Structure 1
Amino acid sequence: MSGTRAEVAVTGLGVCSPGGVGVPALWEALATGEAHRPPVTAFDATGATLKAAGRVPGHSGGDGVWRALDLAETAVREALDGIDRQRVALVLGTTDPGVVPPRPGYFTGDLAGACAERTGLGGEALTIANASASGAAAIAVARDLVALGEAPAVVVGGADAVTDLAFLGLNSLRTLGPEGCRPFSTQRRGIGVSEGAAVLRLEPFHGTGPGGTAPLAVLAGCGLTNATGHLAAPGADGIELAIRLALADARLSPEDVDFVNTHGPGTRRGDTAEIAALRAVFGPRLSEIPVNSVKGVLWHLQGGAGAVEAMACVLSLVHEAVTPTWGAEPVDPICADLDLVLENAPRPLPGLRTALSVSCGLGGMNTALVFRRP
């Protein structure tokens, strides 16, 4: 699927992650590689391959199914700063559509509806469940709502908590790695699971805003594919198609891309399929493009992963810098020719203009998003 070829502006951000609460804390965590990943205490993880999980430091609120709603509320409130909320829509991705238990006035799984009520949003509320690509797929849906005039503004992203069902379920699938996420490393053995929420505020793009202010970035293109061939084994073809659709939607060519933020989960099949897809799209030029993954710092935010990675692209455009791929060394030989940004600090990239974000989910749910400087 591709969208309407209409660009929309990113005018606000909100996030809480293992890197901390708020956008500055996220950038600092991505820059330094420091995040909060304590031992699991909310349930018994004794027999699990990994016994830690990413947690939002200092964030009050409950555990379990209601925590995702608390995290989403925190992120949405930050992104709403200074905007009239009456007609603002909300689209939230999550890996667990049953995250909000039924109670009077709500259907099971109505994460977005419950969050909209808490934050005073009066527009449409949609919950998207597309596995690990949920947050990114939600952004594509929200882009079309804005571009088609269905909403004057949309707050969109993803949120998930670390629950026993998700954590132990992934452990039973042998998806957890004993060290968490080590994207593109020879030592990668699986993922680490995290909680968190990340949202972008999208509005129509009219160039500069009041007083000559420019938006943070422009969401120029989206591509979604459902390339299910195997429940757990990703396929390069579906990832490649999503990227090509996003670039076509943005009316850009592979030569226009300055930076790629990968899904980069740190699983052998996932990393291998994604790199194969990028090689198919970019060819030999891929070795000249900075490529990173934020999962070595934040681990896997589940339904929030695609959203926080889209935010990382926006922040890279704002700062004109790319943060390192922490945990990647020693690098897998299949990536030996790639520029994985292995420094210990953000790399300045003056003139950085276009960033691609790639998200992949179980069952072949793939999403690619293209952002550019205003």
Structure 2
Amino acid sequence: MSHAVRIDYQGISIQCQSICEMASSHLCKLDKMLDEIENSSKRLLNSQTEALRKEIIKTKQKLQAKIDSVIQQARRNASRGTVVVDSDFMGKHANAYGVIDEAKELKKMVARLSDTKIVEFESLLNQLLGNKLESQNERLKDLASGKLSINIEVQRKIEEIEDEIVKQYVYLAWVDHPDESFDRLYTIAMNVKDLADRKQYEITEKAKIEEIKIELREEKIDETTIDKITSVSNGTAKERIQRVREQANAKIVDEKVRKESVKIIVKSIKNRGFVVDAKSINIDRANNQVIIVAMKPSGAKAEFKVFLDGKFEYCFNGYEGQACQKDIQPFMQDLEEVYGIKVMNQTELWGGNPDKNSTIKYQTVNHNSIGG
């Protein structure tokens, strides 16, 4: 049986752009890695420096392309506002939530970049700059100059490896085991890589967790929540970091969605003639909410409590009788038609005599965000 489907393009857009904003902030980590390679370039072979630089740039370009794709789709879709269609006849809206899938993939890419790829780069760099640096470089130079030869089939298979980090480990395995087959070299290389990565995770775990805490604090997350997110004890260092990163990214996106919801509310209420200044917007950390107070010269007052995921309550008072409806209805219409915010639950509380200047109205609304 078909049913009505409400598609909130503005909500999708806010969710996607919040993820993109977070992803963009992580690209600077690759720039720092490039700086590390540049600082180490005098000790590395030119071929190694160039190979690592290309791999980092490729990773950065891949992430940037995904960010651009999600942003472009989200912005195009946002202009559609909110539509209601029949579930059996979605038509041009059939792929309305496709961009959310891209955004979810982007979140995974960000996590891999922050706490997997960067660690792999760091552990490889340590291997390349290790105690065997001089002898390794000499053998690799001899290979490049033709003084040493490598089995043609082994060389071909090594060059076919797409991941530059893995390729470098296999070349290092060849330096120590020049007569082994490719399969054997690959196994040796992966064992060395796994051990190096595991050690690097253990070495950097504390710093990674502190880095994540800083990111959460920058989004004004309260310390109790930060402690809850970052207090993970089970599993390996890699697993602990990945769990913390996953939870932190979700929390950061939630906060960005809430901030965007606050902007929307402020803009919409200002359009209704209310005055809102910076001092009227306050964070209630104890209850994990943002409070907005808006006033009219007439004395009319609107108060909002904005929670995570765009949910919020509001209260209009200072009106005679039900005169507040003249402000509430246009405000709600703006939220739904312009910004794609839908009323999910509504209760009304009337203080004292409803015909007097004591009307209070509460309404809970929900930004139709998509989790992931």
* TM-score range relative to shorter protein: under 0.3
Q: Would you tell me which structure has more helix in proportion to its own residues?
A: 2
Q: Pick 1 or 2: higher relative contact order, CA cutoff 8 A, min separation 6.
A: 1
Q: Would you tell me which structure has more strand in proportion to its own residues?
A: 1
Q: TM-score, normalised by structure 2?
A: 0.23
